[in-house]
Amino acid sequence: MNERLRKLPTYPMEQLAGWKRELEARGQRVFDFGTGDPREPTPAILRRALHDGLADVSQYPPTAGTPALRQAVAGYLRRRFAVEVDADREVLATFGSKECLFHLPMTFVQVPSDKDLVLYGEPAYPVYEIGALFAEAWTYAVPLGVQNGYALDPDLVPAPVLQRAAVVFLNYPHNPTGFTLPDALFRRWVEVREEYGFVLVSDECYVDLHYTGERPKSLLQFGRKGCLAVHSLSKRSGMTGYRSGFVAGDPELIATYRRVRASMGTAPQEFVQAAAALAWTDDAHVVDRVGVFAEKRRILLELCQRRGLRVHGSTAGLYLWVEVPDGVRDVTYAARLREVGILVAPGSFFGKGQERYVRLALVPTADECRAAAAAWPA
């Protein structure tokens, strides 16, 4: 076995899936707030586009994405962020965001060298560390917390670490906490990138899920050189199983990554790309989905208020970041909830120092959220 595989801890979502199977095996009704895989149907217009995109002859799909898909992405970036991109040179289709984020360290970290490090904030989506591990890179996890709004600040990172960094990951709206990053820190990261020369990657897969009237920003609004933004249709458009997204930004970086993807033969099926092109063009279905998530969020916020549970951040994205009661650890509280069929992710699944929190994904239906609230232990 590859030695790097031996060093991998159990992937948190696999642990959550195992707990769910245990609950189902004993006949327990399960309220699954664990993995971020929403229950709402994929919009009908996208399912029709998928069906209509099926060709009589199955052939290899274009690795970079069809021209229609890349043009749709360019139109989305223009509408949503007032960012102009060259659809041919600055956009690539991906299998959602996860596989792209996993591959980027292998693409841009040269080991051994004097730039052999991947940097990210912690708690974090585990794939940043996993991708670095497979690239044989070193990692540097910057501790984030409630006290600073989980905001990754380059001025709090030692200069020697920034000097060694080959790839820096931003993730806002933040998973697992739902905090957003102030404009000033986006600008500062672009300045620091220019000084130290690393690849700055912004994981923006939750950028269209927001609930307070303030729309989250894209890194590409602040810089292009050395910058990449990664997006996904999984939560935005209910296409988790379709595996479709894109990466956009610096044309030199895109050209390099395009070579890598062509070598691996990695490309979404063309009928998926047809549905994705429509998804990036249509905004109405996103408004509808966000309305559904907002209602589930409202129900859970009221629950937390009644139970005296503090919710931090959670103004955007698909999750609530909830502080557990005093004197209780995250895994203990999660186990207590499982006794009544409620599945949540312990904060420690996402990094060190998060034992005071659990993450609730806005996954069950609104009616299921109400039923879970009624069953929630005092």
220-238: b (≥16 Cβ within 10 Å) or e: bbbbbebbbbbbbbbbbbb
> In a 10 Å sphere around its CB, with 0-12 CB exposed, 13-18 middle and 19+ buried, how is residue 281 labelled?
middle
Express each pLDDT in 162-203 by its tens digit: 999 999 999 999 999 999 999 999 999 999 999 999 999 999
Cβ neighbours for 89, distance < 8 A, ≥ 6 positions apart? 251, 254, 255
What is the distance, to the nearest Å, from the Cα of residue 296 to the centroid of all Cα atoms in its chain?
19
**Coil, strand, or helix at residue 249?**
strand
Q: How many CA atoms lie within 13 A of 23 on its CB side?
A: 22
Q: Which residues pair with 246 in a beta bridge?
A: 93, 231
pLDDT the model gives residue 281: 97
Q: Which residues pair with 357 in a beta bridge?
A: 323
The one-letter amino acid at 371: A
pLDDT the model gives residue 132: 95
pLDDT the model gives residue 326: 94
Statement: the pTM of the whole predicted model exceeds 0.85:
yes
Helix (H) or strand (E) holding 168: strand 165-171
Domains of the chain: 3-32+285-375 (3.90.1150.10), 44-282 (3.40.640.10)
pLDDT the model gives residue 37: 85
Cβ neighbours for 356, distance < 8 A, ≥ 6 positions apart? 323, 324, 329, 330, 347
pLDDT the model gives residue 74: 98
Which residue stretches of the chain have pLDDT < 70? 1, 5
Radius of gyration of the chain (CA): 20
